[in-house]
Amino acid sequence: MTMTLSFADTILVADLVDCGTTDEFISDLPVTIRMADYYNRIKYSYFDAPISQDGSKQLEYEVGDIAYWLEGNELLIYYDHDHKPMCSDIIVIGKVQSGVEKLAEYSGSVEITFTIEQH
């Protein structure tokens, strides 16, 4: 299954991971979320309430990963890497196929619309 991320004049496509965390996130789509910037490598936004932790927990991430950060109760999109692991667990729910570096063009916050691709 794939999901689109739309912002400004850009559309990114992400492959989704099959897990309970992903299922809960996509159950509310489509949705537009204002995402702030963290140290020019991550876009993030807080969830109103915790979501499912039914997924593979890890500390490592790759550029293009879309993840749920358990400790911060946040949605994360990694568009650059500092080559350091996270300080606490994340659950990767998807991977942007290409073009995620476009997020670097927005030094502050950006509104991103998440939509499930129907096949």
pLDDT at 34: 98
Closest CA to 103 of 81, 70, 118: 81
pLDDT at 118 over 80: no
Q: Write the CB contacts of 15 (distance below 8 Å, at least 6 apart in sequence).
A: 1, 2, 94, 95, 97
- pLDDT, tens digit, for every residue of 44-78? 999 999 999 999 999 999 999 999 999 999 999 99
Sign of CA dihedral 90, 93, 96, 101: negative
**Residues of the chain with pLDDT > 90: what percent?**
92
pLDDT at 119 (0 to 100): 60
How much is the pLDDT for 91? 98
pLDDT at 113 over 90: yes
Collect all residues with Cβ–Cβ distance below 8 Å to 28 and sequence separation of at least 6: none
- Nearest-5° Cα angle at 84, 2 to 5: 20
Contacts of 13 (CB under 8 A, 6+ apart): 2, 3, 4, 5, 96, 97, 117
Residue-level pLDDT at 117: 79
Within 8 A by CB and 6+ apart from 60, the residues are 85, 86
Confidence of residue 85 (pLDDT cuts 50, 70, 90): confident
